[in-house]
Every structure is written in C-alpha cells, then in structure tokens.
Amino acid sequence: MNRLAISPTRLPQTMARLAYFQGWPMDVLVRLSAGAKVLSLEKNDWLGRKGDPLQSLYVVMDGLIRCFIPLPNNTERVVSLVDTGHSFGEASLMLQAPSPYHAVAGRDTRLLAVDAMVFRREIGQNLNLCRQTLERVAVTCMDNLRDTEISAQRSSAQRVASYLMQHQPSPDSQAFPISLPGRKQDVAAKLGLTQETFSRVLHALDKQGVIQITGSRINVADGRKLAEMTAKRQFSSQGTALAN
C-alpha cells in the first residue's frame, strides 16, 4: 500500500533540497507543493499501471522504482530503473497520455508526487522551468535510444558487453567498478535477456578474467576486450569465442 507519509507545511523546503528543483523560485515550489505529497511504498508496491492516466510527476527521494512493459510470455521488459534523485513521468504528463509502462517499487521507497495539472500550469508560465523540463525529456529520449542500441545487439554477449561499457567513466579507463541498479533479473529484462542467459554470460566473462562478479557489484578488468566484443562479428555465450 502506498500510504501517505507525514508531510507538514514545510514541503516546499523539502522540495528545495531535492536536486530536481535546484534553482526553482520559492514561490513556484510553494504552488507546486499544494498539489504534492510524499509517498511511502514498500517493496513490490504498485505505483501505477500501464494505460492508466498519469496523475503526477514522480521524483524518487530514496529507493528504486522499476518501470516495465508486460510481455505475452508472462515476462516483462524493464524500461527504466529509477533510483534516488531521478524522476519519471514528464513525457506522458506533458502530453496527458496514458502511462506507457507499469511502475512498481523495487524496494522500500519514498518519493515525491507532484500533481500533473499543477506542474503543467507552472511549466506553462515559466520559460526557465519549461526549458529545463525540455532538457530532462530530451535526456530521457537519448537514454531510450541508447537502450535501444544496446538491446539491438544480436548476441547476448554483445548486449552485456555494451551494457557494461556504458558505465565506462571515461573513454580511456580500461578498468572500473559497476554496481547493478537492481536485481540481476531486472537488469537482464532491460537488456532483453532472460536472467539465466544474463547469468551465463556474466560468469563466462568472469571465467575469462574480463570481469569479476561480487553479488550485484561487478568489476570490469579489461574494458578493451569488452569494447572489442561490441565491434567484432560474433561473440556468443556458447560459441567458441566465449566458451573454453
């Protein structure tokens, strides 16, 4: 259940502390807070269903929201894993379009819900906020495209390699740590793989010494090798390239 949390009249101050609202005028925050509330969700609580009209903009204060599209196989395709400090819903909100995905708490989560109508009104009255929101939606757009690129890779190993390399902090760092944003099965679902296939590829890479796995923490040891895999012609989890 998403219970309404205690949230007194200092909601504007709370909002002002969020990175999302940095630089927003206080009078705007006050008006926004009129239609805002802090929600507390327990792990696996539903926040919204695909097709429902979106009533709020959501900013995750603490926790994780899993946005996903249900598939015929009784499986799901994860669209995004939204964690602390990030937001979602801007696009559908601006278009007053039904939600394109389900949203469920990946773990206990606190989030700010700003009423869609109120938010739209403020956006329509302040050029700066409008431009900032435009940029946020544009970023979402680019993220989607990168996800598309990754899951368009034909082989599972290439998908995983692309995903890992996406976390490369700088183009020349050959070794770096990654912490998976959620359960392995969710990351797998984001790459368009089953958890089994994801696990197999990961462990094949580990056996090769290209990465090391420690729970949900992965250390990339040989970025060059991973980069090669995304470029070369064929690398599968079973084929000669990764086996041995």
Partner DNA sequence: CGAGTCGTTGATATCTTTCAATCCCTGTGG
Partner DNA sequence: CCACAGGGATTGAAAGATATCAACGACTCG
b (16+ CB within 10 A) / e for 71-107: eeeeebebbbbbbeebbbbbbbbbeeeebebbbbbbb
6 binds, among a second copy, DNA, none (CB under 5 to 8 A by kind): none
Residue 201: CB minimum distance to a second copy, A: 16
- If contact means CB under 5 to 8 A according to the sort of partner, which of a second copy, DNA, none does residue 22 touch? none
Residue 4 vs 142, nearer CB to a second copy: 142
SS3 66: strand
Nearest in space to 83 (alpha carbons), one of 101, 69, 64: 64
Q: Which residues pair with 66 in a beta bridge?
A: 81, 104
Q: Does 186 bind a second copy (CB under 8 A)?
A: no
Nearer residue to a second copy within complex by CB, 124 or 209: 124
Helix H or strand E segment including 131: helix 127-152
Rounded distance between C-alpha atoms, residue 116 and residue 219, angstroms: 41
Contact region with a second copy (CB under 8 A), list: 21-29, 102-110, 212-220, 225-233: 225-233
63 Rama sector, left if φ>0, alpha if ψ -120 to 50, beta otherwise: left
How far separated are the first and last CA of the chain, in Å rounded?
49
Among 19, 34, 69, 243, binds a second copy (CB under 8 A): 69
For a second copy, which is the closer residue by CB, 4 or 138?
Answer: 138
Provide the binding-site residues for DNA, judged by CB under 7 A.
73, 75, 154-157, 183-185, 192-200, 202-203, 213, 216, 234, 236-239
We find the least distance from the C-beta atom of residue 115 to DNA, in angstroms, to be: 31
Task: Count interface residues toward a second copy (CB under 8 A).
Answer: 49
The answer to whether the beta carbons of residues 57 and 87 sit under 8 Å apart is: yes
Closest CA to 223 of 168, 180, 178: 168
Beta strands in 109-166 (DSSP E): 109-115
Window 5-44: contact mask with a second copy (x via CB under 8 A): ----------------------------------------
Residue 153 found at the interface with a second copy (CB under 8 A): yes
Indicate the residue among 43 and 131 with the shorter CB distance to a second copy. 131
- Tally of residues, the chain: 244
Per-residue interface string for the shown chain with a second copy, residues 103-142, x marking contact by CB under 8 A: --------------------xxxxx--xx-xxx-xxxxxx
What's CA 203's distance to the chain center, in Å? Answer: 24
Measured from the CB of residue 111, what is the shortest distance to a second copy in angstroms? 20
Q: Which residue stretches of 153-194 are H helix? A: 156-165, 184-191
Among 76, 108, 104, CA closest to 88: 104
Does position 232 interact with a second copy (CB under 8 A)? The reply is yes
Candidates 51-59, 89-97, 110-118, 177-185: pick the segment binding a second copy (CB under 8 A).
89-97
